[in-house]
Structure 1
Amino acid sequence: MRLVFTRDLIPGMLTGGEVTDVAGAVKLLKQGICLTQSQITKLQNWGVPFLYLDDGTDYDRIKFSGVDMIKINFAKVYQEIMHDVGHMFRYIKKFREVPVMQMKALADHKISLLVETIGALDYLLEMRCHSEHTFQHSLNVAVIAGVLGKWCGYQGEKLKNLVLAGLLHDIGKVVIPLSILDKPGYLSSAEFAIIKQHTAEGYQLVKTSQQISQDVKLSILQHHERMDGSGYPAGLAGDEINDGAKVIAIADIYEAMTSDRVYRSKMTPFEALNIIADQMFVGLKPEICLTFFDNMRNYLTGSSVALSNGLEAKVIAFDAKEKHVTRPILYVQNGTCIDLQKEALRIVGVYG
């Protein structure tokens, strides 16, 4: 059998085993199915990162590049964790109780592997799909928060707590009606008021746990508070907000913007960072935002992108004077360079 990323599938390939969704809960295809384009699209929409093909090849003898192996291992671990997280979130929804020790073990021993992977945010983008599952968003936020936390100097138990906070930040949504969570359009003021209850509901689920630190509890409660006092649930401002909550807030925004939703398509990292930049001196902590931008420059340099005029290009540099990461210098396929600070063009797609 041969492992192939879903984006590389072509019609006519044969599945080498049963294919399920990322949570392992829904059976999508049986073994030995000859893939059609419709089925490939379905797999991509469900967010299946890879599958095994039955092509008579001995998988153990296949030679992958070092980068391919890192990506494959990331996808494997991600899918395993997704299955576990989905199971735990369904447990929380049913019993209104958080399996704390299992969640901590996931954050400390498995999600930490994703956080420590070089190129984690690149690979995470490839795992994104149309999904209204709170547990998938929570796993992604845990990884992004862990990476951002490392960039901000978090380490040891402090970093573990930040990853756990990212994993648990939206557990309060298990009590929110799906008709509101999955609504394909704008929420009414009454519906948004119900959504806003998820921070306090999540805090209630963990507040008596002796195994969860106060920092994690406050990050769950305060990740929608904003530096200028415009957030919820308490309208806190500045230093009144827990430091971990400030990191989770940025990870939460970035993940939400770069993932597909039923009411909109995902944004590029450049668009998401632009939104964060707009909030940097209002609701978000500037120092954390600037750390995020500085490191994302390194992440995005070398990326292949699609432009609004139909051309493809590669990110080669960022102007040292530019504060943000939204308008880099590009090398275009036709051999010319474009400075997006001087051109009325947009990046509409990123291919890694």
Structure 2
Amino acid sequence: MEIKEREDSEMIEQDIALLVPGMKLAADVCSADGKVLANNGSIVSRHTIEKFTAWQISKVFIAAETPVNPITDLNIRQFINEYNQSVTFIQKAFDDIRTTDQIPVASFECVAGGLVEKTSGCGNIIDQLYNLPRCDDYTYFHSVNVSIIASMIARWLKLPPHIMNAVSMAGLLHDVGKARLPADLLHQPHKLAAPAYEHYRQHVAYGYELARQSTQIAPSILDAILQHHEREDGSGYPYGLKTDKIHPYAKIVAVADLYDEALTLNHDPADTHFTPYSSLEKLRDRLHTLDPKACLVFIDNMLNCLSGNQVVLTDKRQGRVVFLNTEQPSRSMVQLNDQTVLDLSEDPDVRIQYVLR
């Protein structure tokens, strides 16, 4: 990796693991063969981070005026390490389950507890999940993401620590039945033809059967595995259960699952419209099918951290979100770089395309 144009000392060397959207590059970033990957002065986006990771860039220089809080950075560094280790564990665990048909329960409990612990000091860490480089298989990081989001929802609901840990465990195991599915069913299941999709839906029953073999897994977590696709109005599967028949853990995992799915599984790389703003809109649109308490506490807390983000609009203009439209977050008010304030609710052709920070 080569970094060019170090013109002054007003820069900070930053590990890629701590790079976040919105930071400003203070030098060109080049590949080993001299290809310019990003220019001096560019604003870092999630796509930039993924590109640097793909080219095995380990460090870059950012502008010194970029705010860096050493305590926050330490927490985030610890979280990122825990996250990466958890994804690696899930990948290996799924491989082992395919061979042994047994869940290493103690190891899953250790990972779930570690995720709860490391996220507790990072505020709302959920946005950070979507700035991290992806592994090759959606299933692995999705399991970790759902575990983290579910435990955050439990925290926002002010549930006791032992329930936060249990919900984290439920999130980590919610898709364990996919270990019994062929790999070709796991990528973009929403595009599967009817017979294949019916087979895919069996993952909840497979997961329940796997988990039930262990006496160490609580019945409440078994219910969450089996019921996380059930919906309040009876439109879910596998049994079409309604409100009072669905376990509370399953209701929390359902919200986490849908949010992460909207930002990852259904995200066509050519379509950058799947942002935290649009994903929250999708959750609000489905409010009648989800537990309102879990869903609304999640939406409200996420909205609190989305104001002030630097964003790019569909017409390529950039600006900062200055006022949130709580009903349609992707149509909030944005102050453009020229200081003009644009109300996206009044312009149907423009909306937030992606988030810089």
Normalised TM-score (structure 2): 0.80
SS for the counterpart of 1:127 is coil
| Residue 298 of structure 1 pairs with residue 304 of structure 2 | yes
Residue type at the aligned position of 1:286: P
Q: How does 1:1-352 map to 2 (within 5 A)?
A: 3-5=15-17, 11-12=29-30, 36=35, 44=50, 52-53=58-59, 65-66=69-70, 67-127=72-132, 129=134, 131-182=136-187, 186-259=191-264, 265=271, 267-281=274-288, 283-319=289-325, 322-323=326-327, 325-344=329-348, 345-352=350-357
Q: Which has the higher contact order (CA 8 A, sep 6+)?
A: 2
Matches of 2:81 and 2:34, distance apart in 1: 21
Aligned-pair CA distance for 1:107:
0.7
* Rounded Cα–Cα distance in structure 2 between residues aligned with 1:35 and 1:140: 35
How far is the alpha carbon of 1:35 from its aligned partner?
A: 7.3
For 1:128 and 1:4, how far apart are their aligned partners in 2?
10
Structure 2: 5+ residue runs without aligned partners? Answer: 1-12, 38-46, 62-66
CA contact (8 A) 2:49 2:133 kept: no
Q: 1:42 to 1:337 in 2, by over 3 A?
A: closer
Cα distance in 1, alignment partners of residues 83 and 33 from structure 2: 26
Kindly state the Cα deviation for residue 120 of structure 1 after the two structures are TM-superposed.
0.7
CA distance in 2 between partners of 1:310 and 1:262 (Å): 19
Aligned residue pairs: how many?
Answer: 322
Please report the RMSD computed on the Cα atoms of aligned residues, expressed in angstroms.
3.1
Aligned-partner Cα distance in 1 for 2:52–2:243: 40
What is the match of residue 17 of structure 1?
none
1:3–1:50 contact (8 Å) kept in structure 2 = no
Distance 1:176 1:146 in 2: 27
Q: Once structures 1 and 2 are overlaid, which stretch shifts more, 242-251 or 185-194?
A: 185-194
Which residue identity does 1:242 align to in structure 2?
Answer: H
Structure 2 CA distance for aligned equivalents of residues 96 and 45 of structure 1: 37
What is the distance in 2 between the residues matched to 1:251 and 1:216? 15
Distance in structure 1 (CA, Å) of the matches to 2:256 and 2:337: 33
1: CA distance between counterparts of 2:95 and 2:34?
31
Residue segments in structure 1 that go unaligned for 5+ positions in a row: 14-32, 56-62
The alignment-based identity, stated in percent, is 27
Matched letter for residue 220 of structure 1? I
SS of 2:134 mapped into structure 1: coil
Is residue 227–residue 284 contact of structure 1 (8 Å, CA) maintained in 2? yes
Q: Output the TM-score relative to the length of structure 1.
A: 0.81
Query: Any conservation in 2 of the 1:145–1:166 contact (CA below 8 Å)?
Result: yes
- Name the aligned partner's letter for residue 342 of structure 2: I
Going from structure 1 to structure 2, the CA distance change for 1:43 and 1:260 (only over 3 Å counts) comes to farther
Paired with 1:259 and 1:300, the residues of 2 have a C-alpha distance of 18
Quote how far apart the aligned CAs of 1:347 are.
0.6
